[in-house]
Structure formats: structure tokens, C-alpha cells
Amino acid sequence: QVQLVESGGGLVQPGGSLRLSCAASGFIFSANAMGWYRQAPGKGRELVAMISSTFSRNYADSVKGRFAISRDNTKNAMYLQMNSLKPEDTAVYYCRYATIGRTYWGQGTQVTVSA
């Protein structure tokens, strides 16, 4: 079965960096686009970044120039390097995989940006 497991979240000061990881299993990882989403308290889940099977990347305007999405198909893993973090980046970050008729989410990892 499909499993997505995020890790790497934590508490960081404004301006700091974190690297999130998503370990995927149960499907052909290399053939599929993957995405990072986040949900802040009291808000809906929003797209942060996506990476296609051909390594093309898209970012939310709010994170362009600060975040970088990547993938390692040899490890079935996806990453999100987050730099210059701001308090408004505080959220639970989720890994997402979608196929025809179904969307899969990880359990999420908390990122808190605070002094």
C-alpha cells in the first residue's frame, strides 16, 4: 500500500533553515509527480511546491526564491529545503501523491518559525 512519511520539521528562528524529507513506498515513485503542501492553524491546506517525474518544478509565490524542492528516485524520497524562514511559514507540512481517483497524504511534520 502507498505510504508517505515526512520528517525534518521542528522549531527554528526567523531567517533559519530546515530540510524536510518524504519517504515514499507502495507505488512507482520515479514515474509520478509529487508535492509539498502545508496547513497553518485555522487555514486551508495550500500547495507549497511540486516536482514532476521529469524534475520540472513549481512553487507558490510565497516561497519562490526561498524554498527548493528536489527528489531522489534511487531512494524514493522527496525533499524540501527551506531557507530564510518566516513566522508565516509556520504550518504542518504534508507530502502528497495523487493518482487517478485518489490522493494520498503523509501524516505531516510540524514547522514552527518563532523567535
Contact between 66 and 84 under an 8 Å Cβ cutoff? The reply is yes
pLDDT band per the 50, 70, 90 thresholds, residue 58: very high
pLDDT tens, 2-37? 999 999 999 999 999 999 999 999 999 999 999 999
Contact between 106 and 9 under an 8 Å Cβ cutoff? The reply is no
- On average, the pLDDT of the chain sits at 97
Instruction: Residue 73: count other Cβ atoms within 10 Å of its Cβ.
Output: 13
Burial of residue 47 (number of CB atoms within 10 Å: 0-12, 13-18, 19+): middle
pLDDT tens, 61-74? 999 999 999 999 99
